[in-house]
Every structure is written in C-alpha cells, then in structure tokens.
Amino acid sequence: MKLGFLTACLPGRSLEDIASFAQRQGYEALEVAAWPRLADRPFTASHLDAAAMTKDRAQETVGRLAEQGLEISSLSFYDNNLHPDPAERSAVNAHVHACIDAARLLGVPTVGTFIGRHPGRTVAENLREAEEIFPDLVRHADDAGVKLVIENCVMEGWHPDGYPGNLAYSPELWEWMFSLGLYLNFDPSHLVWMGIDPVDALRPYVERVAHAQAKDIELFPERRNRYGYPGRAVNRPDPWDTGWWRYRVPGLGQVDWQRIVDVLYEGGFNGVLSVEHEDPVWGGTNDRILTGLRIAHQTLRPLVAA
C-alpha cells in the first residue's frame, strides 16, 4: 500500500508545485484532478487536461513525477453521469471516456467518477438508466486496461432535499455496481454519517476496492437531534451544509484509521490510500491546506508501511 493525496484541494497550484510538496512531505502518489478546464464547481480542479493528452505529454508527465518518487494513482473526474440535462449528461459521459484514454496513455490504473442521479426520479428508475450508460464506459475501460472506480460519496448537495445524489452510498449499491463491472474508491467518512460502520462495510468487499480515499468526519449528535439525518431544512443556503457534521483530515475526526488500514491489508489491498482534504478548519488558504495534508500524513504514515 502507498500513501497519496487528491490534488483537488489545491486548485490554484500547478501539478509541478503540488508534486514538489508531496515529495518533500513523504507522499508516494497523487490522485490527479482531471475535471474539464471550464468546470467551475466546488471541490474540483484541472491539474491534467485529459482531453488533450498525447503519448508525448503522457511520457513527459510520468517521467517528471517519477523523478520525484511519485506515481499517479488515479485520474479524478467526479461528476453526475445521470445528470437530468441530456446535454450535460452527454458531456460528463464523454469526459469519462477522455479520462480513460488519458489513463491508458499515462499507465494509470484507475479513473474515478460518480454514478450520480437524476433528482426527479426514483432510485430504481435511476439504476435502470445507469444500466444503460455504464456498460459502454466499462467496456472502454476494460479495453484500455483501466478500472473505473466509483466513490461512495453521498453528494447530498446535488439533491434539492439533501438526499443521496450519488447512488453508491451503501454496500447494497456497491454490489449492484460490481455487477456492472465497476470498482469501488472506498471513502469511510461518508459511511459514518449515514450510520454505517465503515470497518464492517469494508471487510467483505476489499477485493473490489481498486483505490481508497482517506477523509475523516466529525459528528455533532446533538445537532442531528434537531435536524435529522438529511440535515437543515428551513434555513440551508449552502446545500452542502447539513448542520450536524463536517469533514476533517485524518486524525481529527471519528474514523478508526488503524482498523480501516488493517482491514485493507488483511484483505490484500495493495493500491493507494489517497487523502481527500475537504477539512474547513484546515482550509481557506494554501498554507492551511498544506498544514492539513501534513497532519494527515502524520496520522497515516505510521499505519501505511513505506
């Protein structure tokens, strides 16, 4: 197992600058943000132009990172593959294809995305639509020697009432995903606020985890008693603010990282555990974000054998 981080937390920094920091800090891999250049959404970045990738650019990128002792663990484009607008859905699907092609050129083993959801349709209706869309993406990935991984993020901010906006939030849905040939980018933080034990949830499915993310979470149960699991309803100007939990960097929340890493090792996982930094306490400026990544490294390095 290797330790890395997702570059999306530093959207204004170049990949070269991020790699220099990663090398100095002792990280071994980068999960590279690969949203389209025109994307302007929270938690996104464009550190690699997948649509413009060529063999020469790929060799140059991989070579520069290798000189710093780094590898690319995954290309990340987490967007709504079931977007309710047909044109937007088509564009998202097309960019997943572009990321797969770029991953093949770069020799990157995985591409990460979301199932997504049409918020005006039932879960069952969405699953049937996904079964029409994802087989083509999976075939393309298989042909490229790439695994398509789905993060189990709930994406509650995509739904007008704070309900799941990405249909990959539970082991029941993971099994459905696996039947389509998809793999899991496992992130324990989302399971905690959903009331699912991340250790028990992970154990039976390690062989389908092709990539893993390290994000922590801090719960405020007394606030949940007021809002319920979906979060704030009357006054919620920020769709991502449920009011009763927040993400933290590993070590500052309630995820048991010793048990999570142990289950990954026990199950034979030999991929990358990638820090996803969305901690509001250690956010806001580049210096604070880098400090958050240092805290995460200090927490996880003793558990992930270098």
Please, what are the averages of pLDDT over each run of 10 residues along the chain (306 residues)?
98 97 98 86 89 98 98 98 98 98 98 98 98 98 98 96 96 98 98 98 98 98 96 94 98 98 98 98 97 98 91
Q: Is residue 159 part of a domain?
A: yes
Q: Is residue 230 part of a domain?
A: yes
pLDDT at 43: 80
Sorted by sequence, the CB contacts under 8 Å of residue 123 that are 6+ apart come out as 117, 167
Q: Is residue 36 part of a domain?
A: yes
Are 227 and 243 in contact by the 8 Å Cβ rule? The answer is yes
Report the relative pairing of strands 71-76 and 2-6 from DSSP bridges: unpaired
Q: Is residue 59 part of a domain?
A: yes
Q: Is residue 305 part of a domain?
A: no
Three-state secondary-structure class, residue 232: coil
Q: Is residue 306 part of a domain?
A: no
What's the CATH number where 82 sits?
Answer: 3.20.20.150
pLDDT at 41: 73
Q: Is residue 63 part of a domain?
A: yes
Instruction: Count CB neighbours of 225 within 10 A.
Output: 9
pLDDT at 38: 67
Q: What type of residue is 244?
A: W
List the alpha helices (DSSP H) in the chain: 15-25, 55-67, 86-106, 123-144, 171-179, 188-193, 198-202, 221-227, 257-266, 286-300
Domain of 246 in residue numbering reads as 2-300
Q: Is residue 275 part of a domain?
A: yes
Cα(50)–Cα(33) distance, integer angstroms? 10
Number of helices (H), then strands (E), belonging to the chain: the values are 10, 10
Q: What's the domain count of the chain?
A: 1
